[in-house]
Amino acid sequence: MSLPVLNLSLFTNGSAEDRATFAAQLLKSLSDHGFVKLCNHGMSEEMVEDLFEWNRRFFRIPDYEKERIAHKPSPDPQRGWSRIGAENTATIYSRQFAPDKIVSKSDAKEHFDQGPPGDVQFPNRWPAESTLPGFQPYMENCYLTCEAISGQILSAMELGLGLPAGAFTNMCTHEANASEFRLMHYPPIDLAEMRKGQNRISPHFDLGVITLLFQDNVGGLEMEDRARPGEFVPVSPSAPADMVVNISETLQRWTNDVIRAGMHRVTLPPQLKEVEAATIPERYSITYFCKADRNVSLAPLPQFVSKERTPAYDNVTALEYQQRRLLAAY
């Protein structure tokens, strides 16, 4: 199975017919798979390559410098550096969907997280300018670029679903902006460790509205095949600037399960699955988690509730929901 690669510029710069066609194709892929790939989304190949270089540069700074901006395990939004094994997506998932079979298995990755520029409630943690000159302004600019792209994608979804303009976008990226930008590094790992059940990231859903992802050419990202629940298929790297987009839990809640979140994991690259012994090379990826504003309700929207389709989710704010779910990770 291969995901369609859709041209976002047909929506941002196209005719009314182009926009409608793109919106319909976007909605079909996200409905069928929970995933889609986009090209011509507003970040050039050069911009993406630069972003990966900053990613590598951050994780090369000494650990004692990263420790100065370490995220302390808590249900608060993550800020700064999280060391290898700090996050446990297996526990988040199993607590929600299989509480009788809680899995405790830390992820084999480290990551850097930032929120919106100037966030007062949950301030960002940056390395010293002398340690990584230019990192903060560069990352803040990338955050704003991804924020704009996510708004365009959500606008296309509104059109595809026949919703009024702003039905999704008016609940994101305003005064209580909660979206997050993450750099991820997966260190080299012995194949034997992976065979014992260690995942780089265990199967999970993201918590926000949609996720934008760039991945390097190492491979290992997989999504659940909805035609065969419980089985996973590769989301293979393609063109360097192609953006992978997946539906997250908030949008599933808003649409009352009409559009379902895409389950995914990071595991063995396809070319190593038949190899007996190897060291899996390091991997880098970049994600922007578009999230609902902190004070917004995550109850189903009225357009997706009827006598036949009663609300499947409770009325909880985005911040309360995130804190509830992150408690499971630590």
Domains of the chain: 5-329 (2.60.120.330)
Question: Residue 148's pLDDT is what?
Answer: 96
Asked which of 226-235, 238-247, 271-280 is least confident by mean pLDDT, the reply is: 271-280
Checking if the pLDDT of 328 tops 80, the result is no
Distance CA 284, CA 216 (A): 6
Residue 109 has a pLDDT of 87
What average pLDDT does the segment 40-44 reach? 95
Res 330: pLDDT: 57
- pLDDT score at 45: 94
State how beta strands 5-7 and 35-39 pair: parallel
pTM given for the model: 0.93
Q: Mean pLDDT throughout 215-222?
A: 92
Indicate whether 97 pLDDT > 60: no
Is residue 158 within 8 Å of residue 168, measured between CB atoms? yes
- pLDDT of residue 27 exceeding 70, the answer is yes
If you average pLDDT over every residue of the chain, what do you get?
A: 90
pLDDT in tens, 101-157: 444 456 788 999 999 999 999 999 999 999 999 999 999 999 999 999 999 999 999
Residue written as token pair 């949609």: 210
Q: State residue 327's pLDDT score.
A: 76
The type of residue at 136 is Q
What pLDDT is recorded for position 99?
A: 47
Distance CA 98, CA 76 (A): 24
The answer, yes or no, to whether residue 65 has pLDDT greater than 50, is: yes
Higher pLDDT, 157 or 87: 157
pLDDT for 85? 72
87 versus 205: the higher-pLDDT residue is 205
β-pair type (189-190, 279-280) = antiparallel
Q: How far apart are CA 167 and CA 145, in angstroms?
A: 21
Task: Give yes or no for a contact between 288 and 212, defined as CB atoms under 8 angstroms apart.
Answer: yes
Q: Is 166 helix (H, G, I), strand (E, B) or coil?
A: coil
Per-residue pLDDT for 313 more than 70? yes
Most confident of 132-136, 203-207, 324-328: 132-136
No. of H helices and E strands in the chain? 9, 14
Does 28 or 268 have the greater pLDDT score?
Answer: 28
Name the pairing type of β-strands 283-290 and 180-186.
antiparallel
pLDDT score of 64:
95
Percentage of the chain modeled with pLDDT above 90: 72
pLDDT value of position 105: 59
